[in-house]
Amino acid sequence: MSKEIDAIKDPGLPEHVLRRADTDPIAARKAERQVATLFTLSSLGTITLIGAYFFIPQDVFIFFPVLGSTNAHQLFLGLGLAASVFFIGMGAIHWAKTLMPDEEVVIQRHEFRSPDEDRAEFVKTAKEGAAAAGLGRRSLIKRSLGLSLGLAGLSPLVLLRDLGPTPGDSLSKTSWKAGTRLVTDPGDRPIKASDLEVGAVAQTLPELAKGEKRTLPNIARDAVLLIRLRPEEFNLNAERLSWTHEGIIAFSKICSHMGCAVALYEQQTKHLLCPCHQSTFDVTRAAKVIFGPAARPLPQLAVTVDSEGYLVAQSPFTEPIGPSFWGRLK
């Protein structure tokens, strides 16, 4: 460490420089007035807040540059509150900076390490305590205590069991059955194949039986997007083609990646885009993933028409819809 010896020397704490307010009473008074002004501004802020709360109705709108037409109640309430606290802060800091003593103080640090005798004392006490309890000698107690502590840790887990039911096969099931009509969301109107022009989409849900109520968990599994293309635009295998009806193809709207509603259909490119993570699916190839993080196509719902010409599901979904999970294929 020879280098450290001829290191450049520490010149030590610089001399304290007096402020103007320390030497000049006029400057000191000026600073005092500035602080008082700042505190007064704060009071004005509070008055603004009270005035806005009681005297500006909530439905008054004024024009304010940058903000446009804006709610006066909310604006003045906020600006009043902001001024009332902000200027207390400004005043206090200005006071501290200009008028309170500004000479820096030096204090010494202490070492955190306890003195050796304290440490030795501690170790001794701890050992004595352990010996007095006799944990080391009485191995039967030690073992049974360990066991009971471990088991006791299980009880919160057990007690939390009723947080929810086990999933069972509910993640793999939807309300779609063979013959379920597709109805508009919202509106619940059944849809005829002829209702859709080429290039049209429809957001649909399964028709409800009388007296049934649609719940959000249902919608989270059942939402389906209908799209009509020209039949010759499809590039599907025979089975998948048989799942379409005159160019009408149906997909689960719940993204196979993380469950957002995938419904950004680009009519020209025939691509579906998920707005959450930008997975892109090619409708003509049974929603094959062509971009983004999704690993699987959107499940396709086989559709046909019933005797009255309304669009219905041919069969339930053949795979679980929505995001993947461990037992998805079981």
Partner 1 sequence: MKHLSRFRRHRAVAPLLLIFALLGIGTTFSVAGAATSNPISAAERSALIKEGEQIFNRGCSSCHGINLEGGGVAPSLIGVGAASVDFQVGTGRMPLADMSAQAMRKTPLYTEKEVEALAAYVASLAIGPEIPGEEQLNYERDGSVAEGGELFRTNCAMCHNFAGQGGALTQGKYAPTLMGVLPKHISEAMTTGPQSMPVFSDKTLTPEEKLSVIKWIKAVEVEPALGGASLGRVGPVTEGLLVWTLGLGLLVGVAVWLAMKAR
Partner 2 sequence: MTARERIAGSVANYVDERTGAAAWMKKNLNKVFPDHWSFLLGEIALYSFVILLLSGTFLTFWFDPSQREVIYDGTYAPLQGIHMSAAYASSLDISFEVRGGLLMRQIHHWSALIFMAAIVVHLMRVYFTGAFRKPREFNWIIGIGLLTLGIVEGFLGYSLPDDLLSGTGIRIAEAIMQAIPVVGSYISFFAFGGAFPGEAFIPRIYIVHVLILPGIFLALITVHLMLVWYQKHTQYPGPGRTEKNVVGYPLLPVYMAKAGGFFFIVFGVTAFLGAVASINPIWLYGPYTPAQVSAGSQPDWYMGWLDGLVRMAPPIETIFFGYTISWNILLPGLIIPGILFTGMALYPFIESWITGDKREHHLLDRPRNAPNRTALGVMSLTFMIIALINGGNDIFATTFDLTINQIMWFSRISIFILPPIAFVITKRLCLSLQRADRELVLHGRETGRLVMMPHGEFVEVHEPISPEKAWILTQHEQQPALALEENDASGVRRPGVLKNKLRARMSKAHAVSIPKATAADLKEIEHH
Under the binding rule (CB under 8 A), the answer on residue 67 touching partner 1 is yes
Buried b (16+ CB within 10 A) or exposed e, 8-32: eeeeeeeeeeeeebbeeeeebeebe
Stretch that binds partner 1, among 115-123, 140-148, 244-252, 262-270 (CB under 8 A): 262-270
Under the binding rule (CB under 8 A), the answer on residue 275 touching partner 2 is yes
C-alpha to C-alpha distance for 36 and 5, rounded to whole angstroms = 53
Residue from the set 47, 50, 145, 264 that interacts with partner 1 by CB under 8 A: 264
Under the binding rule (CB under 8 A), the answer on residue 63 touching partner 1 is yes
Residue from the set 40, 43, 70, 318 that interacts with partner 1 by CB under 8 A: 70
Residue from the set 184, 235, 314, 315 that interacts with partner 1 by CB under 8 A: 184
C-alpha to C-alpha distance for 244 and 227, rounded to whole angstroms = 10
Residue from the set 89, 134, 187, 309 that interacts with partner 2 by CB under 8 A: 89
We find the least distance from the C-beta atom of residue 69 to partner 2, in angstroms, to be: 13
Q: Are 285 and 236 in contact (CB under 8 A)?
A: yes
Phi, psi for residue 157 in degrees, rounded to 5? -60, -45
Under the binding rule (CB under 8 A), the answer on residue 13 touching partner 2 is yes
Given partner 1, partner 2, none, residue 205, with its beta carbon under 5 to 8 Å by kind, binds: partner 2
Q: What's the chain's length in residues? A: 330
Cβ proximity to partner 1: between 46 and 184 the closer is 184
We find the least distance from the C-beta atom of residue 303 to partner 2, in angstroms, to be: 18
Under the binding rule (CB under 8 A), the answer on residue 20 touching partner 1 is yes
We find the least distance from the C-beta atom of residue 261 to partner 1, in angstroms, to be: 7
Cβ proximity to partner 2: between 105 and 154 the closer is 105
Q: Are 206 and 313 in contact (CB under 8 A)?
A: yes
C-alpha to C-alpha distance for 215 and 1, rounded to whole angstroms = 76
Single-letter amino acid code for the residue at 24: D
Given partner 1, partner 2, none, residue 184, with its beta carbon under 5 to 8 Å by kind, binds: partner 1
Cβ proximity to partner 1: between 171 and 276 the closer is 276
Interacting positions 287-326 with partner 2 (CB under 8 A): 289, 291-296, 322-326
C-alpha to C-alpha distance for 247 and 269, rounded to whole angstroms = 16
DSSP letters along 3-61, please? HHHTPPPP--SPPPPPPHHHH-HHHHHHHHHHHHHHHHHHHHHHHHHHHHHHHS-TT-E
Question: In 3D, which of 224, 227, 235 has the Cα closest to residue 198?
Answer: 227
Q: Are 302 and 178 in contact (CB under 8 A)?
A: no
C-alpha to C-alpha distance for 62 and 78, rounded to whole angstroms = 15
We find the least distance from the C-beta atom of residue 131 to partner 2, in angstroms, to be: 30
SS3 180: coil
Q: Which residues bind partner 1 (CB under 8 A)?
A: 17, 19-21, 59-63, 66-72, 74-75, 78, 89, 93, 97-98, 102, 184-187, 189, 191-192, 195-203, 227, 261, 263-269, 271, 273, 275, 278, 280, 291
